[in-house]
Structures are given as structure tokens and as C-alpha cells.
């Protein structure tokens, strides 16, 4: 297969997996809700007042507690697992084709050099011993 074809297929697969395995998860709950107004543009002028009366800058506040993060990651892992396990099922593929039409409207993906160098650069240090 030509490198350009591999890149095109990888791009569509990445968009599709992001759409159905990541976007349509608990991330939607985080995305829903009221977006605070910021005049600074970077949310440095937005504060959260917690139940203890502390004012926490929006940029310093955790927006996910450990339980929500664990739940979100389980959803994503389960969906990625299901995607890979059912990718050859004709009914599942028909469903994917419908979502691909939406996902293809997103920006073209690009190679994440920082991600790649972090994995390759730290590969030896992270191997189980």
C-alpha cells in the first residue's frame, strides 16, 4: 500500500474512533453546562467558589475528580475495545460508515511529534523489568 493511502486510511480511522469512542462518552457531560464568561480570554479572571468558601482560579481547578476520570477512561477503553473487536462485523461497519460522514468534516489529523517522541524517547525507561 502506498504511504499516502496508509495516511488517508489512518486519518479517517482516527477521526472515526475519536468520534464514536471518545467524543460520545462522559466528555459530553463535561462539555455540557454553563461556560463561564471571561473578559481576559484565558479564564484567568474566572473563579470557582467551593462549598468551603474558597475561591479557586478556574485555571487551577480540577474539573474531574478521580472517580469521574476513572469512569471516563473505562468508557473510552471499553469503546475502543469494542471497536477493535467488532470492526469486521458487517452490521457494525454499516453503523461506522454513517458516523464517518460526520467525522470526516473535522480538521485533518496531524502527526503528534511530542506524543511520538515521548513514547519512543522514554521507551527503554518504561519497559517492565
Domain ranges of the chain: 10-30+41-110
Q: Cα 13 from chain centroid?
A: 14
- ∠ CA 71-73-77, rounded to 5°: 120
Give pLDDT tens digits for 2-52: 988 899 899 999 999 998 899 888 888 888 889 999 999 999 999 999 999
Give pLDDT tens digits for 97-116: 888 888 889 999 999 999 88
Backbone torsions φ then ψ of 48, nearest 5 degrees: -110, 135
Amino acid at each position: 500500500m502506498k504511504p499516502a493511502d496508509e495516511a488517508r486510511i489512518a486519518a479517517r480511522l482516527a477521526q472515526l474512533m475519536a468520534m464514536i469512542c471518545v467524543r460520545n462518552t462522559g466528555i459530553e457531560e463535561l462539555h455540557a453546562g454553563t461556560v463561564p464568561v471571561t473578559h481576559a480570554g484565558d479564564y484567568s479572571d474566572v473563579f470557582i467558589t467551593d462549598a468551603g468558601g474558597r475561591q479557586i482560579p478556574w485555571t487551577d481547578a480540577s474539573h474531574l475528580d478521580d472517580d469521574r476520570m476513572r469512569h471516563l477512561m473505562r468508557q473510552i477503553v471499553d469503546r475502543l475495545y469494542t471497536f477493535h473487536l467488532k470492526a469486521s462485523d458487517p452490521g457494525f461497519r454499516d453503523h461506522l460508515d454513517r458516523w464517518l460522514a460526520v467525522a470526516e468534516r473535522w480538521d485533518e489529523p496531524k502527526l503528534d511529534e511530542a506524543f511520538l517522541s515521548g513514547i519512543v524517547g522514554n521507551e527503554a525507561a518504561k519497559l517492565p523489568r
